[in-house]
Structure 1
Amino acid sequence: MKPFSLNAMALAVACAYPLTTLADDATLEPVVVTAPAMKAPLEVSFDPRAPQQPLPATDGASLLKAIPGMSVIRKGGTDGDPLFRGMAASRLNILLDGEQILGGCGMRMDPPTAYVFPDSYNQVTLLKGPQSVVHGPGASAGTVLFERKAPSFDKPGYQVDGALTVGSFGRHDELIDVKAGNPTAYVQGILTHAESDNYQDGDGTEVHSRYQRSSATAIVGWTPDRNTRLEFSSIHSAGEAAYADRGMDGVKFDRSNYGLKFEKKHLGGLVDAVDAQVYYNYVDHVMDNYSLRRFMPTAMMANPSVSNPDRKTTGGRVALTLVPGERTQVIAGLDQQSNTHTVRSSMNATAMPYEAKPRTDDAAFRNLGLFAEATHELSDSRRLVMGLRADRWKAEDRRQTLAVGMMSMPNPTRGQTREETLPSGFARYEWDHAGGGTAYVGVGHARRAPDYWELIAKESTGSLSAFDSLKPEKTTQLDVGSTWKQGAWEASVSGFVSRVDDYVLIQTAYAKPAMGGMTRTTTVARNIKATTYGAEAGVNHAFNAAWKGLASLAWVRGQNDTDDRPLGQMPPLEARFGLDWTQGRWTAGSLLRVVAAQTRYALNQGNIVGQDLGPTSGYSVFSINGSYRWNDSARVTFGIDNLFDRTYAEAISRGGAMVAGYDRILRVNEPGRTFWVKAQFTLK
């Protein structure tokens, strides 16, 4: 794939734009996102197009890392897996413009956030804990919403938004977003491109991590009146990425998506609004050990090898907003999702190209959910929020055989089907402070069905297949917290305690009997009992009109109650401190990230994304940024991440693999000192 490039286009439009000056006495808010705060109960929201420090790779996971309590498992330069409070994958429900999209790779090269191009969205929202039921099944740790704002025109017009980012290690990203319309219709086109060479850590060691990513989005909308919208969208993206944590790279990440939405608001009766959408998504993924790296034959892999999984997902949702009383609002509806996974591969790509082989179905999933969520105002300052959900989940194991080392064995669960009804619900009490802010206390329960990577990609302790033995997770969680605002102070705190029955634990290096009285080690999925608890806190203070300080803290602990040991993949205590300055057209800022040592770990235990590798030492990283804005339509932001060129790796990280021509390290280290500049403009 040769991705398109927008460098020349973005620079030409930016240079041609006639800039107007900003008044000398005008003041501007800082434009760099460093630690977005919780503004409403259990909700963190920010603009993904705002520059961010540390400068993220252009995927959704690195964007989310700015949120306190969020971690990312690094595998290379892009496509990391996000975790919130140590919970990953299907425990963290991720929706792209209302659609639940799943990747194809059985080794998690392409989590849902790998198909997120942040500049093509307008808002990112994290909903903490099992405290909402309207955004799909699971969500025991939380829900992440990547959302676009529909264009609106009071008269015929257009708008062009553009951005160009350049940085160290050959990094450059481009965005062009063009909208045009009138009061009754609109069109929108978005092109994004991003690429980077291999980065270096603080010691100057090169990490196998280069990537390139491109996307094209087309949207057509019909708005016969202010309260009605019908919208069709088409999204196509492609990419490739080198990985430092495994023996293969992702040489193809193709996605095709089509969606149709209908929205009708302010109907004025019992049914006040109707929202409906349907979508189709197809992911075609290829990984091999020769396209992006030098092939090195081994005893286990003597020839160039390739695997080509794909996944086809269809889904839809209908929700009604009901107003049964003056102080009561109910959102009720249903959602559905079906997906089929296939794979084809070749252990000798030279002699037997994978393209010539037929695809083989290995699994199919279906989920139908019914939900209702009500908000009842007890008074002007107190409210009760409640929700119930029931999901009918079905999974089918279509694998004929299973690979055991170099051998192929019959699948003991071939053709089996599982069906479960999974109830979820929550209740939360909120009350507003007299001075400003809201406090809350809530209890939620979520049942999560095991996902593809747990049921299909893993063994059980007593069988070659985990399909028939793995139970759904049952999470019960207490959430408490508050937001607070008083004068120049703004603060928030959120805490939780969670009990998880039948937690799905992934364990590597598990010994099992083999032929001839021998033993072998493999990766298994098994159910345990677990307890997790933790908190996030943040405070912002405006010292005066020019200076503003911020601080945040995130802490989480997990316990494997069955094995009486720490729960794997729990991040250590982390604090962030920032100081921002704003004066007229200029802003400047700094970010100090301090991470404690992690001595609580469970070697070889974790989740489908990664397992604990051992203890880690603490570290601190300091970054600075600045910006200049000519007017409301043009600005440039610049920064230096990891100013002192520290060499470090996150506690939650994948282990380094043997890659020809690169030094092997215990963990995939983070980038060293990184310089970057981002220019943005708007034409209307």
Structure 2
Amino acid sequence: MTSHICTRAHHGRAPTLSLRPLCALLAALPFAALAQDAALQTITVKAPKAAVQPVGAAAADAEALQSGRASSSDTASLLRNLPGVSLFGAGGVSSLPSVHGLSDDRLRIQVDGMDLVSSCGNHMNPPLSYIDPTRVGSVRLFAGVTPVSVGGDSIGATIQVDSPAPEFAAPGQGRLLKGQAGTFYRSNGNGMGANLSATYATEQMSLRYDGSTAQSDNYKAARDFKAAGPAASNKPTQWLGGDEVGSSSYKTRNHSLAYALRSDEHLVEMRLGLQDIPYQNYPNQRMDMTGNDSHQFNLRYQGQYAWGQLQARAYHEKTRHSMNFGEDKQFWYGPAGNVPGMPMDTEGKTTGLQVKGDIALSTRDTLRVGAELQNYRLDDWWLPSGGGMAPNTFWNIREGQRDRADVYGEWEARWTPQWLSQIGLRSSHVRSNSGAVQGYNANYNMEANAFNARDRKRSDSNVDMTALARYTPSANASYEFGFAHKTRSPNLYERYTWSTGGMAMRMINLAGDGNGYVGNMDLKPETANTLSATADWHDATGEQWGVRFTPYLTYVNNYIDARRCSGSGAMSACTPANQTATTGFVYLQFANQDARLHGFDLSGFTDLGRTANWGQFALSGVVSYVHGTNRTTGDKLYGTMPLNARAALSQRLGAWTGTAELVMVTAKTRVSAVRNELPTAGYGLVNLRGSYEWKQVRLDFGIDNLFDRFYNHPQGGAYVGQGQTMAGTAVPWGVRVPGMGRSFNVGVTVKF
């Protein structure tokens, strides 16, 4: 079957001849594994045992993390198999996780314990973009009722992505010297990259380096979704085919150096990080990233004492981010075509401190207490380039400040072997402010002066509370249920962007919908009340079969949605026609409204058994559903996923692992009318993955979208990836960013 599939090369992709070695490899490896089966140790399909993870947590499988690295350089994609998770489309390494209908800043996303902040009016540099998939050691998700010890400044899930823990030499080993190098190739987009890690350690010291680079050209959809032609009117030689998704190329480089010392009960680790993204283009944003340089310092301490465990962390991150029009978007503007682009720059600085302790009060009771401080500074300015964008520098946000101070306490009690409870309380104080702003010229003076005349200081006192319980009546079942009250204060772009000029508003977009947005200084914090429960049925070992069902209901007061804007500035795009438009791109202002989200996740797996000739088979699947409604207006919430499911059949035979995956998504008909969101049709995709592992070499390969099915992902956004994107109506409305067509992927990892 495999060899038959591989003989079909899609027209316009890599030539069939170049795919034959890969196809032959796909066909031959299971039989090579069969021949070696007697000599190799049996690999057993295992699922996490019940009650191993903390209350409310789920973890990504190590095998899924490894195989996912071959198919994507986007770290967020490593979460796609977890129940309740979907991904908003963005740049090639910067998609945004959505959990139970909430995404972006509504989630707390930590990278190596750091709370990183996106410093961009389009959120092009979200937290997960700062760690390459090849450096990810573990992924943990708290999707339902999030404990206060891992929550804070969010109303949704918590995602924790960590690098591998430091390794030390075993007692008597003397020193440990190890490493690995890897490379990959993906046919769709001509994606390629490499990574290297090396560790030198003694029994008390560990030093590790990680480096990676990845790049890709534009990817192609399964068929034409637009007319072929020049990328822009003044770029006649930059030709884009009808199936080519403009502005989907990227190039990224990441480096990390970790140094750790330990004694019997204590560990200190210092991690330095460096990121350089020369470019990352965006098919659903009017601008492209033309540079993103980040420096990170992360120091942590962990100690074990007679009373429990103490952890402390101090970190600092600085980002210098630049945007302009990439190679697929028009660069020269003005009547004479002599205005060169629109340079946009941001500088963000994040400094954080965390201290937390786990105190064993008794064999029954554990008390977790902690304090957190975060200091964030942002400057966002647009240099003059000529025409109407001159003679001044446009200050979008100047001297932006957002400071947060939290304290929390959490009591966990194991009343009996069957009953566990957890109650927590967090107090948070968030202060934000912005300096005086200015526009390019006098046309912006009225709005700038009105903004500058106001008191821009804001202070929010927020309280989070959670109550959870777990009941384990037998070795075959466990039940979790709980309530959470959570709060999030607005980010600086939601509060302090100020101009209703059409061009300025089109530069502010956190949704990828092609519309323009303006901030609202009077926004209140979002407060969410969530009820959630999980029933987990499984065999006594937790390894043969399991089913988990999680329904949830969330009410959000002062949900930051959007309304059609009104304004009276000299260049305001907030016209009467904008108020009533049912087609085309529109202009909106962030606004507090009330929302309700409800849905469920259903997941399960089963061991199908083992045969001597074909190895072990297992079946797994996930079904997720969410429905979001704006209770104030009756509109639907933007970007929620329709009913969707994944099913995977896997085989393990000696050193061989193979998986066939079916992805199914129903039609999206519930859309946000205020944003003129587009519906999408339902679709189904088939993906194949395989790996073969020798003692020191691992080969990963796969075919994504096996049958080259055309589809529009419901969260892919509006296509504005080419043409005169600075202008409001020069880019066609009504075109979705299509999903990727068939891609052959291969990766090799060598350990030394």
Secondary structure in structure 2 of the residue aligned to 1:542: strand
Equivalent residue number for residue 629 of structure 1: 693
Aligned equivalents of 2:520, 2:153: Cα separation in 1: 18
Aligned equivalents of 2:530, 2:498: Cα separation in 1: 28
Which amino acid is the alignment partner of residue 98 of structure 2?
L
Deviation at 1:468, TM superposition (A): 3.6
Deviation at 1:369, TM superposition (A): 0.2
On the 8 A contact 1:397/1:413 being kept in 2, the answer is no
Secondary structure in structure 2 of the residue aligned to 1:544: strand
On the 8 A contact 1:290/1:304 being kept in 2, the answer is no
Verify: 1:670 aligned to 2:717, yes or no: no
Verify: 1:429 aligned to 2:469, yes or no: yes
Secondary structure in structure 1 of the residue aligned to 2:694: strand
Equivalent residue number for residue 344 of structure 2: 307
Deviation at 1:188, TM superposition (A): 0.7
Deviation at 1:295, TM superposition (A): 1.9
Aligned equivalents of 2:628, 2:258: Cα separation in 1: 44
Aligned equivalents of 2:57, 2:498: Cα separation in 1: 34
Q: Deviations over 1:149-195 (max 9, x none)?
A: 12232231122123222111211132211111111111111111111
Verify: 1:492 aligned to 2:548, yes or no: yes
Equivalent residue number for residue 438 of structure 1: 478
Secondary structure in structure 2 of the residue aligned to 1:100: coil
Verify: 1:450 aligned to 2:490, yes or no: yes
Aligned equivalents of 1:459, 1:475: Cα separation in 2: 30
Residue of 197, 203, 206 corresponding to 1:177: 197
Residue of 235, 240, 265 corresponding to 2:273: 235
Deviation at 1:313, TM superposition (A): 0.6
On the 8 A contact 1:603/1:613 being kept in 2, the answer is yes
Equivalent residue number for residue 116 of structure 2: 101
Secondary structure in structure 2 of the residue aligned to 1:232: strand
Verify: 1:416 aligned to 2:432, yes or no: no
Deviation at 1:504, TM superposition (A): 0.7
Secondary structure in structure 2 of the residue aligned to 1:567: coil
Q: 1:518 to 1:491 in 2, by over 3 A?
A: closer
Equivalent residue number for residue 651 of structure 1: 714
Which amino acid is the alignment partner of residue 679 of structure 2?
P
Q: Deviations over 1:627-649 (max 9, x none)?
A: 21223x42211110001111111
Q: Deviations over 1:266-319 (max 9, x none)?
A: x113xx111001011001100111566552426799432111111001011011
Verify: 1:153 aligned to 2:169, yes or no: yes
Aligned equivalents of 2:627, 2:638: Cα separation in 1: 10
Secondary structure in structure 1 of the residue aligned to 2:284: coil
On the 8 A contact 1:640/1:675 being kept in 2, the answer is yes
Aligned equivalents of 1:79, 1:114: Cα separation in 2: 5
Which amino acid is the alignment partner of residue 510 of structure 1?
C
Deviation at 1:210, TM superposition (A): 0.8
Residue of 346, 358, 378 corresponding to 1:341: 378
Verify: 1:577 aligned to 2:647, yes or no: yes
Q: How many residues align?
A: 645
Q: 1:301 to 1:647 in 2, by over 3 A?
A: farther
Aligned equivalents of 2:592, 2:115: Cα separation in 1: 25
Equivalent residue number for residue 535 of structure 2: 482
Aligned equivalents of 1:218, 1:574: Cα separation in 2: 40
% identical aligned pairs: 20
Deviation at 1:557, TM superposition (A): 0.5
Residue of 400, 423, 428 corresponding to 2:437: 400
Secondary structure in structure 2 of the residue aligned to 1:407: helix
Which amino acid is the alignment partner of residue 219 of structure 1?
A
Verify: 1:268 aligned to 2:306, yes or no: yes
Aligned equivalents of 1:323, 1:640: Cα separation in 2: 50
Which amino acid is the alignment partner of residue 555 of structure 2?
R
Equivalent residue number for residue 58 of structure 2: 44
Q: Deviations over 1:325-375 (max 9, x none)?
A: 111111101011001001232241899999999997341010000011221
Secondary structure in structure 2 of the residue aligned to 1:471: coil
Q: 1:478 to 1:516 in 2, by over 3 A?
A: closer
Residue of 536, 555, 565 corresponding to 1:510: 565
TM norm structure 2: 0.80
Verify: 1:166 aligned to 2:153, yes or no: no
Verify: 1:567 aligned to 2:673, yes or no: no
Verify: 1:682 aligned to 2:751, yes or no: yes
Secondary structure in structure 2 of the residue aligned to 1:602: coil
Equivalent residue number for residue 329 of structure 1: 366
Residue of 84, 90, 103 corresponding to 1:69: 84
Aligned equivalents of 1:30, 1:196: Cα separation in 2: 34
Which amino acid is the alignment partner of residue 167 of structure 2?
P
Deviation at 1:413, TM superposition (A): 4.3
Aligned equivalents of 2:258, 2:565: Cα separation in 1: 49
Q: 1:528 to 1:458 in 2, by over 3 A?
A: farther
- Could you tell me which runs of 5 or more consecutive residues in structure 2 were left unpaired when the two chains were aligned: 1-35, 225-242, 506-516, 579-586, 611-615, 726-730
Verify: 1:538 aligned to 2:603, yes or no: yes
Segment of structure 1 superposing worse, 658-667 or 442-451: 658-667
Which amino acid is the alignment partner of residue 629 of structure 1?
E
Deviation at 1:255, TM superposition (A): 0.6
Equivalent residue number for residue 207 of structure 1: 245
Residue of 121, 124, 130 corresponding to 1:115: 130
Which amino acid is the alignment partner of residue 650 of structure 2?
D
On the 8 A contact 2:131/2:254 being kept in 1, the answer is no
Residue of 256, 259, 273 corresponding to 1:220: 259
Residue of 502, 522, 529 corresponding to 1:469: 522
Q: Deviations over 1:15-62 (max 9, x none)?
A: xxxxxx88535333579x9xxx99665322123883345965323322
Deviation at 1:449, TM superposition (A): 0.7
Verify: 1:78 aligned to 2:134, yes or no: no
TM norm structure 1: 0.87
Deviation at 1:566, TM superposition (A): 2.1
Secondary structure in structure 2 of the residue aligned to 1:276: strand
Residue of 254, 275, 279 corresponding to 2:293: 254
Segment of structure 1 superposing worse, 184-193 or 57-66: 57-66
On the 8 A contact 1:56/1:63 being kept in 2, the answer is no
Aligned equivalents of 1:616, 1:501: Cα separation in 2: 29
Q: 1:134 to 1:30 in 2, by over 3 A?
A: same
Equivalent residue number for residue 639 of structure 1: 702
Q: 1:357 to 1:278 in 2, by over 3 A?
A: same
User: As a proportion of its length, which structure holds more helix?
Assistant: 2
Equivalent residue number for residue 189 of structure 1: 209
Aligned equivalents of 2:111, 2:571: Cα separation in 1: 50
Segment of structure 1 superposing worse, 55-64 or 197-206: 55-64
Aligned equivalents of 2:498, 2:539: Cα separation in 1: 52
Secondary structure in structure 1 of the residue aligned to 2:450: coil
Deviation at 1:243, TM superposition (A): 1.4
Equivalent residue number for residue 9 of structure 2: none
Q: Deviations over 1:108-134 (max 9, x none)?
A: 122222222121120011111342112
Deviation at 1:440, TM superposition (A): 0.7
Deviation at 1:69, TM superposition (A): 1.9
Residue of 127, 130, 148 corresponding to 1:133: 148
Aligned equivalents of 2:91, 2:390: Cα separation in 1: 27
Q: 1:185 to 1:346 in 2, by over 3 A?
A: same
Aligned equivalents of 2:634, 2:395: Cα separation in 1: 47
Aligned equivalents of 1:366, 1:572: Cα separation in 2: 36
Aligned equivalents of 2:252, 2:387: Cα separation in 1: 27
Aligned equivalents of 1:551, 1:595: Cα separation in 2: 14
Q: 1:516 to 1:483 in 2, by over 3 A?
A: closer
- Could you tell me which runs of 5 or more consecutive residues in structure 1 were left unpaired when the two chains were aligned: 1-20, 606-611
